[in-house]
Chain A
Amino acid sequence: MKTLAILADFGTPGALLHAAEKVRTAGYRAFDCHSPFAIHGMDAAMGLGRSPIGYIVGGMALLGASIGYGLQTWVTTTAYPIIISGKPLYSWQAYIIVTFALFVLFGALGGVIGMLRLNRLPRLHHPLFYSERFGRVTDNAFMVSIEAGDPLFDETGTRDFLSSIGGTNIELVKGD
C-alpha cells in the first residue's frame, strides 16, 4: 500500500474556491477541486485557461458540413446524374438541409468525444476511488485532492498545509 493522493474537505463552494487559490499559490500543480456541480470562477482560481473544446466542435462541424455538401454534389452530378423535376444536376439550394444536419451531427459527436478524451474518460478506476469518503463529492462535499506525483507533495507537509488553509477530515489515500 503506498500513498497515492491526499484529500481534504472544505465545507462550502466559497471555501473550496479560496482553497483552490491557496493551493495554486503554494505551487502545487497536480491538484483538483471536486464538487457536486461546477463552481463559477473555479477555472480562474485554479489557474486553468479556457477549454479548447470549442475548436474541436467547430472543426468537426465544418468537416461534417463539407462531407455532406461534397457527398451530395458528387452523387447528384457524377455518381448518379438524374434530372428530377427539371432541376439542374447541381442544385445547391437543395443540399443545404443535409449539409446543416451533418454540421450539427459531427459537431455534437466531436464535442462529446473530445470532452471525454480531454477528461481521459472513460476511466473506470482512479486512485481517488480508494477513499471511502470521496464518493460524497457527488452528493454534498467539496474536496481538494493533491496527487502524490506532485513534486511538492510530502505526506506531513502537505497535510499540515491543507489543515492550515482550513481543510478538515484530511485523508491520505492509499492503494496499490
Chain B
Amino acid sequence: MSAIIKQHSASPDAAALVADQPLVTGGLDFGGITEKVSGIVERKTPKAWWLAFSLAASVLLMLVGSIGWLVYEGVGIWGLNNPVGWGWDIVNFVFWVGIGHAGTLISAILFLMRQRWRTAINRFAEAMTIVAVICALMFPAIHVGRIWVLHWFFPVPNQMSMWPNFRSPLLWDFFAVGTYFTVSTIFWYVGLIPDLATLRDRAKTRARQIVFGILSLGWRGGNRQWRHYELVYLMLAGLATPLVLSVHSIVSTDFATSLIPGWHTTIFPPYFVAGAIFSGFGMVMTLALIARKIFKLEDIITIGHLEKMNKVMLVTGSMVGYAYISEFFMAWYSGNIYEAFTFVNRAFGNYAWAYWIMFLCNVVTPQLFWFKKIRTSIPVMFVISIFVNIGMWFERFVIIVTSLARDFLPSSWGYYAPSKWDIMIFIGSFGLFFTLFLLFLRFLPMISMTEIKGVMPEADPHAHGHDGHAAEAAGGEA
C-alpha cells in the first residue's frame, strides 16, 4: 500500500489542483452531475428557449431568403466593386473560422496539456466550433456565385478532363477547412458517446430510448471499451492540435501568397492563429456566461474557469497587439513605399474609423484583464468579450478592405461599402449560428458528464483508500 501512497504524493499536481480550487463546487457527487446536466435536456422546454429560438430562426429565415436572391441574381447584389473584389463575404468567412478555433484549442490542446479545468467548457466550445465552421463554410460556397458548380472544388474526374489547381491557396483552404469541420465533428461525437448512453439509460419515453439508443451505439462503459476509447480520444486530440494551428495559417495564405501590400507578409500565419484563438475565446465567454446564468451551472462553470479563460484572452490579445505593432514597424523598416503607404492609410485614411475600433477592442480592452478584480467580474468580462467579438470582425475588415481599396495606381483607388444584402447575410449568419447552437443546448448534454466525473477527487481510485491509509495520506496532503 505504501507504494501507492508514495505514487500519490509524487504527483502533487492533481492533489494541489483539487486542494486549492475545486473544479466542481456546491457539493455535487457523480449522481448530482448526471442529474444537473441531463436534467436540462429532459425537463420541459423553458419559455426563454422558445423565445430565443424563434428569434434566431426568424433571422435564419432572412438568411435563407437573402441567399435565395443571391443565387438567383448573382453576387452583383453585394457591395463589391473594382478594386474591392473581396468584401464582407470573406470578412465573415475568416471571422467565423477564427471563432471555431477556441473550441478545438479547449478540446484538444488543453487536453494534451492536462488542463483539467477544460472539462466544464469543452463540450459546448466544441459545439460552438462546429456551428461556427458551418457558418464559415457557407460564405465561400455562396461567394463563388455559380453555387451549382461548387463540386468543381473536389478533385473528381469529370467530362471536361479538368482538375483543380493544387497550387492555389483557395484550394488549400477547401481541404483545410473541410478536414477541420470533419475532424471537429467526429471528435465532438466521440466525446458525446458515453453521455448519450447516460441519456439512453435515463430515457423515460420510447422515442428517447430509440433515438439515444441508436446515437450511443450500444455503449456499455466497460473498461474493455474505455481502453480503446481513451486512446483514440488522445489520438484525435493529437491530430486536432496541429490541424487547428494549420487551418488559420492556411486561411492566412489566401492573403499572404498574393502581392497586395498589407497582405504579402510572413507574419500572417501566427498572427491569424493568435487572433483566431482570441476571438474564439471571446465568443465562448459570451455564450458560457449566458448559458451558465440561464441553466444555473455556477457549480460546474465556476469563476475559476472564467478567470482562466480571461487569462487566455489576455495572452492572445497581447499577441495580436504585438502583431499590429510589428506590422507597422516592418512596413517602415522594409523601405517599401507601397507597404508603408498601406499602413499609414489604414490608421489615418478613409477607413481609420474601422482601424481604431479594431485597435481599441483588440489591443486596449484585453489589457484590463491584468487586474484580478476585472478578471473575476462577470458583467465586466461579458462586456469585454463582446468588444473582442466586434474588434476581431473589424480586424478582418481592415485587413481585407483597406488593402484592396488602395490599388498600386491611384487611378484604381476605390471605396467599399456593403449593400443591404451584405448586411442581411451577415446578420443572418448569426441566425444560423444561434439556431443550431440552441438546438444543441436543448437536445444534447452541453457539459461532458463523463469528463467532469473523471476529474472529481472521488474519481481517483486511490482517493478513498482501500484500507484507510491512502485516505489519510490524501488528507495529510490537503
- The range of chain B's interface size is 35 or more
Partner of A76, one of B167, B200, B218: B167
B221 to A36, Cβ gap below 8 A? yes
**Chain B residue, CB-CB nearest to A14:** B461
Supposing A36-B450, A115-B190, A139-B34 touch, asked if A98 and B175 sit within 8 A by C-beta, the answer is yes
> Are A87 and B236 in contact (CB-based, < 8 A)?
no
Interface string of A32-74 (1 = CB under 8 A from B): 1111111111110010101101100100010000000001100
Contact flag A32-B31 (CB < 8 Å), given A14-B462, A115-B229, A139-B202: no
Tell whether, in the assembled complex, residue B190 and residue A112 are in contact, meaning their CB atoms are under 8 Å apart: yes
How distant is the Cα of A110 from the Cα of B458 in the complex, in angstroms? 34
A167 at the interface (CB under 8 A from B): no
Chain A nearest CB from B175 CB (Å) reads 4
CB under 8 Å from chain B, chain A span 81-98: 82, 84-85, 87, 91, 94-95, 97-98
Q: Is B207 an interface residue when CB atoms closer than 8 A count as contact?
A: no
A18 vs B470: C-alpha distance when bound (angstroms): 14
CB of B466 within 8 A of CB of A14, answer yes
Interface residues of A in 134-169 (CB under 8 A from B): 135-140, 145
Q: List the B residue with the shortest CB-CB distance to A38.
A: B226
- Inter-chain contacts of A80 with B (CB < 8 A): 161-163
Contacting pair B459 A37 (CB below 8 A): yes
Tell me, yes or no, whether A26 is within 8 Å of chain B by CB.
Answer: no
A39: chain B residues within 8 A (beta carbon): 223, 226, 459, 461
CA A71 to CA B157, docked complex, whole Å: 12
Question: Contact mask B218-251 → A, CB, 8 Å, 1/0?
Answer: 1111111111111110011001101100100010
- The residues in A between 111 and 147 inclusive whose CB is less than 8 angstroms from any CB of B are 111-112, 114-116, 118-119, 121-126, 128, 135-140, 145
Main secondary structure of the interface of A (DSSP, over half): helix
Q: Count the A residues whose beta carbon is within 8 Å of the partner chain — how many?
A: 72
Given A40-B461, A54-B235, does the pair A46, B201 have CB atoms closer than 8 Å? no
The listed residue with most B CB atoms (<10 A of its CB), out of A16, A51, A61, is A51
The one of A54, A98, A105 in contact with B231, judged by C-beta atoms closer than 8 angstroms, is: A54
Q: How far is the CA of A176 from the CA of B67 in the complex (A)?
A: 55
Contact for A42 among B34, B187, B226, CB less than 8 A: B226
Is the C-beta of A4 less than 8 angstroms from some C-beta in chain B?
A: no
Q: Is B414 an interface residue (CB 8 A)?
A: no
A118 touches B228 (CB 8 A): yes
- A15 within 8 Å of B by Cβ? yes
Known: A13-B461, A51-B231, A94-B167. A33 touches B223 (CB 8 A): yes
Interface check B145, CB cutoff 8 A: no
Q: Which of B176, B202, B229, B231 contacts A135 (CB 8 A)?
A: B202
B235 in contact with A111 (CB, 8 Å): yes
Check B235 against A38 for contact (C-beta < 8 Å). no
| A91 and B167 contact, Cβ closer than 8 Å, known pairs A13-B459, A108-B239 | yes
Q: Within the assembled complex, what's the spacing in Å between the Cα atoms of A67 and B433?
A: 34
Contact of B214 with A by CB under 8 A: yes
User: Among the listed stretches B85-93, B178-186, B308-316, which one makes contact with chain A, having 4 or more residues with CB under 8 Å of it?
Assistant: B178-186
Also in contact, A97 and B250, with CB within 8 A (given A36-B450, A43-B227) = yes
**Is A17 an interface residue, CB under 8 A from the partner?**
yes
User: How many Å from the CB of A39 to the closest CB on chain B?
Assistant: 6
Q: Which of A107, A109, A121, A137 contacts B217 (CB 8 A)?
A: A121
Q: Which residues of A contact B197 (CB under 8 A)?
A: 138
Q: How far is the CA of A128 from the CA of B221 in the complex (A)?
A: 11
Q: Which of B175, B194, B218 contacts A36 (CB 8 A)?
A: B194
A87 smallest CB distance to B (angstroms): 6
Distance from A36 Cβ to chain B, minimum over Cβ atoms (Å):
5
A100 an interface residue at 8 Å Cβ cutoff? yes
Given contacts A35-B223, A38-B223, A38-B454, contact A138 B464 (CB under 8 A): no
Q: A39-B459, A46-B223 are in contact. List 13 more A-B contacts (CB 8 A).
A: A32-B222, A34-B221, A38-B223, A38-B226, A40-B460, A43-B223, A50-B231, A80-B161, A82-B165, A108-B187, A119-B228, A137-B220, A139-B198
Please, could you name 21 A-B residue pairs with CB atoms under 8 Å apart, sorted by A? A14-B464, A14-B466, A34-B221, A36-B221, A43-B227, A46-B224, A51-B227, A51-B230, A80-B163, A97-B175, A104-B240, A107-B239, A108-B186, A111-B235, A112-B232, A118-B228, A122-B217, A123-B218, A135-B201, A135-B202, A139-B202
